[in-house]
Structure 1
């Protein structure tokens, strides 16, 4: 069913969730994709690539426990970037997806905190991140991530959605990164959903933010199939009831366009990722739209030694909404 969270945040509320990764058919999973997260498979994931040396001064050495808190760093262009810190163990930087704030990923951070010191970045335009500047793109996002990595000594990166594109590019450009997890990088969205993106941008420019949100949710298939047949006029009337209470969410909508451009930029010449020295895990959900798993397969074809997992009953928002479902895959890879 669809839940309208205080009027505007539309999401899938799944009726059952499984904390294990189950077998999916070969056509869906593809050759080489792991379909189970038992002990043997977790060991296989960790052993798929040779170990990388650790940087001196990082949190991986010593694994000193840290209390939950917030940090502030300055990016290369002078912009202030904030992040939260939770847990103890090897440092892990989490790069959120579109419109996500660090505070909204606290459940994921808590789930990972038993074995990692988790630093969740507040990206520009969300939370405590500074505003996007003219010419903002993938390079600037990488610089922001690098600033947090340098300040914390973290050597592992987990990216969600467009944050996965940033995570991969950061690992490519930053010496000493040992592990990178990419959860559903939307590298095909600009090409496969060009008409949806164009309509979304048009509605934003016209100040029709509620309609733009509906276009995004329906057009990018973020919700049950039945939602696509509900008239936009009806959904808009329902969502406007909570418009004032969710002004912050509406204000963050334009950053989605920014993320789509970043994903499009990141999709150029994917062969460059073959130079990655870090261990790589590509993760997706069996309930996600085909255009998202298509991007995973494209990367998997180029990175045959990467770990590959499809999580049963998971979708694009599962890491933030139900982190227990993806935790076995993430922890199995990180060790």
Structure 2
């Protein structure tokens, strides 16, 4: 494990593996870099992979107050390390879920990378989902402010489409207390996507070749998401492709919110070689 100091003094923990074109992996959720080990290892067969703990997770620091801009600065710090290695290889940002929103913000902010790939950024691309998001965020902040971490976690599950039975099962799970103990990270997750809707004006400033990926499995057919619109992720992907100049989109058959590492590696390799697609 290595650490780099971000602009605000926060230490960001990262690991590097593999050789070849550089891929900087930004994950999602309340988990750390270890949860992305299978994906990082698969990518490392053809790429130099940097995988890091987002601030507040794993071995990284957690300087307060949180702001989306600080996470963009964290990405910039990792990019500087990768560029400093002076391998001559191109550098690509790969963002999964909310990590994809941060990657897009980094590209829009001018972080010096050559390519951008995002997978299922959870933007709310319809009025109905945007309204649901706003209600969720307002309830989340109240629950966290009042110390009701379990309720905050339930609110996230409800927004994601979980029904009463799944929520009850989760609350009775032996893992519930552990998850609730890091529920404050849900506030970071919420802020990482801004106001929840595609930031069209900022996306329009991205100049790097950009690939927008989504899985073909409808959102409401996925575990814990039965109440979500089936095209939730597809609509978000289409909005990004429409906003980013020259962006390409690709639907990965049979994939849900956690893409198959080998399949994603193949797509990344093709993207580095110049192959393009359209949603």
Q: TM-score, normalised by structure 1?
A: 0.68
Q: Distance in 2 between matches of 1:255 and 1:327?
A: 28
Mapping of residues 287-326 of structure 1, within 5 Å: 287=217, 288=219, 289-303=230-244, 305-316=246-257, 318-319=258-259, 322-326=260-264
Cα displacement string for residues 288-312 of structure 1 (whole angstroms, at most 9, x for unaligned residues)? 3533322211111123621201112
Q: Is contact 1:86-1:110 (8 Å) kept?
A: yes
Q: Distance in 2 between matches of 1:181 and 1:266?
A: 19
Q: Match for residue 111 of structure 1?
A: 42
RMSD across aligned positions (CA): 2.4
Q: Is contact 2:98-2:189 (8 Å) kept?
A: yes
Unmatched segments (≥5 aa) in structure 1:
1-69, 222-226
Q: Distance in 1 between matches of 2:176 and 2:196?
A: 33
Partner SS state of residue 82, structure 1: strand
Partner SS state of residue 159, structure 1: strand
Q: Match for residue 204 of structure 2?
A: 274
Q: Deviating runs (4+, > 6 A) in structure 1?
A: none
Give the 3 Å change call, closer, same or farther, for CA 168–212 of structure 1 in structure 2. Answer: same
1:164 to 97, 100, 112: 100
Q: Distance in 1 between matches of 2:248 and 2:215?
A: 14
Q: TM-score, normalised by structure 2?
A: 0.80
Unmatched segments (≥5 aa) in structure 2:
84-89, 220-229, 274-279
Q: Distance in 2 between matches of 1:293 and 1:197?
A: 22
Give the 3 Å change call, closer, same or farther, for CA 138–215 of structure 1 in structure 2. Answer: closer
Query: Is the radius of gyration larger for structure 1 or structure 2?
Result: 1
Residue 148 in 1 paired to residue 78 in 2? yes
Q: Distance in 1 between matches of 2:158 and 2:31?
A: 19
Q: Match for residue 174 of structure 1?
A: 110
Partner SS state of residue 106, structure 2: helix
Q: How many residues align?
A: 252
